[in-house]
């Protein structure tokens, strides 16, 4: 017997096959948005690291010493805000 797929929203469990098509669409949209948020955070981390590298290279070229602190935004599983699913 096949295990029924369930999804969670607002701390409540729903059976996937009993959801309306519109609800399934909304779940899919939220899943895609969460993926995009993770990817955007990863891109920001890459850009911040690139900026720090060029800042350091410029300081070195000008004979200056600077203190660069790494910044990271990446959170692979949850967004910083309270997720709804």
User: What domain range includes position 22?
Assistant: 6-61
In a domain, 15, yes or no: yes
In a domain, 68, yes or no: no
In a domain, 69, yes or no: no
In a domain, 47, yes or no: yes
pLDDT tens, N- to C-terminus, the chain (85 residues): 568 899 999 999 999 999 999 999 999 999 999 999 999 999 999 999 999 999 999 999 999 887 756 566 655 555 444 444 4
Q: pTM for the whole thing?
A: 0.65
CB distance 85 to 30 below 8 Å = yes
CA distance 36 to 69: 26
Predicted local confidence at residue 4, as pLDDT = 87
CA distance 39 to 44: 9
Q: Given the structure tokens 């911040």, which residue do they identify? A: 48
Predicted local confidence at residue 43, as pLDDT = 97
Q: How many domains does the chain have?
A: 1
Predicted local confidence at residue 85, as pLDDT = 47
Predicted local confidence at residue 3, as pLDDT = 81
In a domain, 57, yes or no: yes
In a domain, 81, yes or no: no
| C-alpha separations of 68 from 11, 31, 56, 57, 71 in Å | 41, 35, 7, 11, 9
């Amino acid at each position: 017997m096949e295990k029924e797929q369930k999804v969670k929203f607002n701390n409540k469990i729903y059976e996937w096959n009993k959801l309306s098509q519109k609800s399934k669409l909304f779940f899919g949209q939220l899943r895609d948005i969460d993926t995009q948020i993770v990817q955007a955070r990863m891109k920001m981390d890459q850009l911040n690291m690139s900026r720090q590298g060029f800042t350091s290279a410029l300081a070195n070229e000008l004979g200056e010493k600077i203190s660069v602190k790494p910044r990271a935004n990446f959170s692979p599983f949850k967004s910083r805000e309270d997720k709804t699913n």
